[in-house]
Chain A
Amino acid sequence: MPDAAPLWAAVVLPAALAVAAVVTAGFDAVLSGSAERGPAGSLREAGLRATAPLREALRLLVQQPRRTTAADRLLGRLGVVLVPVAAVLAGAVLPWGSRAVSDPSVGIVWFNAMEALAWAAVWLAGWGANSALSLIGGYRFLAQGLAYELPHMFAITTAALGAESLRVGDVVAAQDGLWFAVWMPAAFVVYLLSALAMAFWGPFEHPLARDTAGGAAAELAGVDRLVFLGGRWLLLVVTAGFSVPLFLGGGHGPLLPGWAWTLLKTAAVLALLVAGRRLLPTLRMERYMELAWMVLVPLTLLQALFVAVVVLNR
């Protein structure tokens, strides 16, 4: 069982998550840079490309905010701010090595509840601007989040079922020998897919897609936009990072200390997602929505049944 982390961890956590988000965004920028303009000629060129997200963030900091008529400023702001806040709150149960900022007895449900909060927040951000396109983006994410929340929940539940506990620390402890990813591969793959969908990133970026001029973020500018899009990266990092304690054995590993293994595994998952995004096309929404309801939900239920039978006969 992990020990409680010291109080300063609560302060460090948002910063650490933000750094991870910036690094991921930088890696993504390098990859898209070499896809769009060819491989970087020099080291300086590569560095410029990697820091593009940071420069964009600085530009957004000084950009004028955009006002729309009859906007619901209160709800819009609330939605924008809730996205990163919910991501950090979800990250509070992420164990770093053998320690988490907090390891409540129902940590797994807590994580899911915070993801749901971020999901509702995107609709608020889309609603707030009083603009048709951004509201369409918000509605798209409601439908998408609902379709992928269920397989997501079942995949998470499967891991909890395998460990017979809702405490994240116990789930990690249960993977001392064999990783859950090995004997629940379907749950693991579905988790990664739905993590992308819950972070509305990559192949699932329709809520913010170009065909609606930026979707839920269409009317966001300046600091609002920075907080919202930064929150999306945080959400991606946190959901991808949570697959490590759930399926990849958390801090377990030879030689290196627990925190190093957590870091390595998280980086590997993120690299896989960011690099794998280049291989997956962005499908039309109705295509991947039906996939969630018709294929992923039954698949995860079967996986949960399998795990339940194994656990009963252990």
Chain B
Amino acid sequence: MRALLDDVIFWVLALLAVAGGLMVFRFDSMARATYALLTSLLCVGGEVLLLGLDYLGVVIVLMMTIEMAIMAVFMVMYMMNPAGLMPMTMLHNKQGAAAICAVVFAVLAAGILLAPWPSRRGRPPDDPTMDLGLSLMGPQMLTMMTLGLALFATIVATVVLATRRGRYDRFGDDLKARRADDPVRGGTGR
């Protein structure tokens, strides 16, 4: 009974994920495309939950929701036809890409079906979340530190790339202005 239920959930989520993924590139409306991608990624989170990784599954749901909500802003900002009211295509090399992707999928599928997968070794721990935490803070510390560093570098790089006004614009050429010259005044009285 339990296995049957799991099967049904797997198939529903899998079909939704693939359908959502396909619709991303078919919708004219950018908002719809973004939320189709969100549907697809939420289903990915659901599949991860189904595999017994509670923490990672819910974190994927949380992160992808936030990420896609922000993505929608940029989609509307930078696409020529955000609401899809005037259908247009912005594709290049459609046939070639389709052929490449079909070949990639065929090769992957052949590999998946033909590879002699090893049988399951060991049992999942009672609390996979604890296991993950101990691993990240222990044997995988280097991974965690690299990730932390990469995220920090991302924050700096993003701000540098995206900002238009630097401190010289805000505090004058000699950086001596007492109040920052901002177009919008903030709330902390600086």
Write the residues of chain A forming the contact surface with B, with a CB cutoff of 8 angstroms: 70, 72, 74-75, 78, 104-106, 109-110, 112-113, 116-117, 119-120, 123-124, 127, 130, 139, 142, 146, 149, 166, 283, 286-291, 294-295
Contact = CB atoms under 8 A, between A and B. Distances in A.
Given A75-B35, A106-B54, A124-B35, A295 B69 contact: no
Interface string B63-90: 0011011101100000000010100000
Contact of A283 (B59, B65, B187): B187
The prevalent SS among residues of A at the interface is: helix
A120 to B, nearest CB: 4
Contact of B54 (A70, A105, A119, A127): A105
A120 B185 CA distance: 27
B69 A113 contact: no
B40 interface: no
B62 A113 contact: yes
13 contacts: A72-B31, A105-B127, A106-B129, A109-B59, A109-B62, A119-B69, A120-B38, A120-B66, A123-B69, A123-B72, A130-B83, A142-B69, A146-B70
Given A106-B58, A124-B31, A294-B188, 5 more contacts: A72-B32, A75-B31, A113-B61, A117-B65, A166-B129
B188 A113 contact: no
B184 A113 contact: no
Contacts of B62: 109, 112-113, 116
Contacts of B66: 116, 119-120, 146, 149
B186 interface: yes
B181 to A, nearest CB: 15
Contacts of A287: 185-187
B58 A113 contact: yes
Nearest to A71: B83
A303 B85 CA distance: 49
B69 A74 contact: no
A294 B182 CA distance: 16
Q: Which one of B29, B55, B62 has the greatest number of beta carbons of chain A within 10 Å?
A: B62
Contacts of A124: 31, 35
Contacts of A295: 188
A72 B68 CA distance: 18
Contacts of A123: 69, 72
Nearest to A139: B73
A124 B83 CA distance: 12
